[in-house]
Amino acid sequence: MAAEHASALTAVECARRIREGLLTSEELVQACLERIRDTEPVVQAWTFLDEELALAQARAADERQCSGLPVGPLNGVPVGIKDIIDTADMPTENGTVLHQGRMPRDDAAVVARLRAAGAVILGKTVTTECAYYSPGKTRNPWNPDHTPGGSSSGSAAAVAATMVPLAVGSQTNGSTIRPGSFCGVYAFKPTHGLVPRTGVLKLSRTLDQVGLFARTLDDVALLAEEAAGHDPGDPDSRPRARIPFRALAAEEPPIPPLFAFIKTPYWDRTESETREAFAELAEALGGQVEEVDLFPSARAGWEWQQLVMEAEMAANLEREWETGRDRLSGPLRSLIERGREVRAVDYQRALRGIDDTAQSFDELFMERYDAILTPAVPGTAPRGLSSTGDPVFCSLWTLLGMPAISLPLMRGSNGLPIGVQLVGRRGFDSRLLRTARWLIDQVQAG
């Protein structure tokens, strides 16, 4: 197979061909590296890439394949890792000059799980500074004059540019869903605690969640199945049975799913073509969509999210503040300053509100709906690289720890992607993927 075609294969197809001896991991990784050489000068998705290290991992995967011993579901498949996620054999610099040259001792739990499944850790993808707002060097593969979103900028862009079939990111506000939408790929933020965060830059225990990127829903399910699991280093991770994401996501729903279309109080921030596109989608789905007003207790969620994020980031970045605040960007310094002023009573009030509000959404799902339908972003990726875009349509679901996925189903008049976001009930991630598949089939059939 020609190199350019191999780099564009889905992860499921890569794994199948390697398993059946139709493609070697070394051939696949070489194809991805050639694609990176061609596109990286424009897209700039990588902050660390050692070709020899990547090829050595690929050759080891091929040796495992030839050994006759059992191999993992991702054997030989390359994955990009956001540069806030520790890798024992590569630097993890967290997008800040303060951590330049940092070499972790151990892999993050999610990296260890992917290696155990046979994945080739191709390299480290660009993050914004400490996974906050100040952009890195990455550009949108659809149009380099536009932002790729953030903070998982490089992960989303690398998958969109067919540099790598899979990538891992994170989300503390909108850092997975937003770049997934802007770059036109599938972006999945599982239920809070489902994918362990041990070895990931700690910004906010309450809000930090690992995110996954792929070019198909099947690939999302494959990656989720290997990434999810318990790790004792994450206090919000719990022992649980292995979730067969691929099998469950492939099932046909027993009845057509019903969607709650929630515009949120920030609907006026959407661009006109986003509003028109969602109106057309709702009309096409007919009786399977019902517009639902956000209940009053959830309306404070955006304020709570900002307060909790600022307070917890200020605490977790205290060392950086004390030793190098003059080398932090203005936006990050301002966030830390605000976070250091948060009153304990306001912080505790916000934490109390999270579970009560999430339980109200649980009741909404139990009573009637399979998923919430809402925009991933206000519109297409903004022009310019000084901003990573508005996360307002992600904040509430991140706060509540609910699973969310951005589906690349829409296009703006400028040709850039617009994501459709589906949000599910906490702990029902595989059902959300099943519902997403149904929606994709409906849109493609229509």
Bridge partner list, 120: 78
Catalytic residue among 25, 134, 151, 181: 151
Query: Closest by alpha carbon to 53, among 35, 31, 26?
Result: 26
- What's the confidence (pLDDT) of residue 299? 95
Bridge partner list, 219: none
Backbone angles phi, psi at 81, to 5 degrees: -120, 125
Strand pairing report for 78-82 and 166-171:
parallel
- What's the confidence (pLDDT) of residue 446? 79
What is the distance between the alpha carbons of residues 304 and 3, in angstroms, rounded to a whole number? Answer: 48
- Residue 260 structure tokens: 């709650």
Catalytic residue among 7, 25, 82, 153: 82
- Under DSSP, is residue 81 helix (H, G, I), strand (E, B) or coil? strand
Active site residue 25: no
Catalytic residue among 152, 170, 175, 237: 175
- Residue 109 structure tokens: 């739990």
What is the distance between the alpha carbons of residues 16 and 77, in angstroms, rounded to a whole number? Answer: 10
Active site residue 82: yes
- Tokens 């690992």 belong to 210
Domains with residue ranges and CATH for the chain: 1-295+365-446 (3.90.1300.10)
- What's the confidence (pLDDT) of residue 428? 98
What is the distance between the alpha carbons of residues 307 and 237, in angstroms, rounded to a whole number? Answer: 24
- Which amino acid, one-letter code, is at 159? V
What is the distance between the alpha carbons of residues 143 and 182, in angstroms, rounded to a whole number? Answer: 10
Does the pTM surpass 0.95? The reply is yes
What is the distance between the alpha carbons of residues 187 and 158, in angstroms, rounded to a whole number? Answer: 13
Say if residues 164 and 158 touch (Cβ distance below 8 Å): yes
pLDDT tens for the chain, 446 residues long, are 444 589 999 999 999 999 999 999 999 999 999 999 999 999 999 999 999 999 999 999 999 999 988 999 999 999 999 999 999 999 999 999 999 999 999 999 999 999 999 999 999 999 999 999 999 999 999 999 999 999 999 999 999 999 999 999 999 999 999 999 999 999 999 999 999 999 999 999 999 999 999 999 999 999 999 999 999 999 999 999 999 999 999 999 999 999 999 999 999 999 999 999 999 999 999 999 999 999 998 999 999 999 999 999 999 999 999 999 999 999 999 999 999 999 999 999 999 999 999 999 999 999 899 999 999 999 999 999 999 999 999 999 999 999 999 999 999 999 999 999 999 999 999 999 999 999 999 999 97
Edge-to-edge strand ranges of the sheet holding 404-411: 46-48, 120-125, 78-82, 166-171, 209-214, 186-189, 404-411, 417-423, 371-375, 259-261, 289-291
Active site residue 202: no
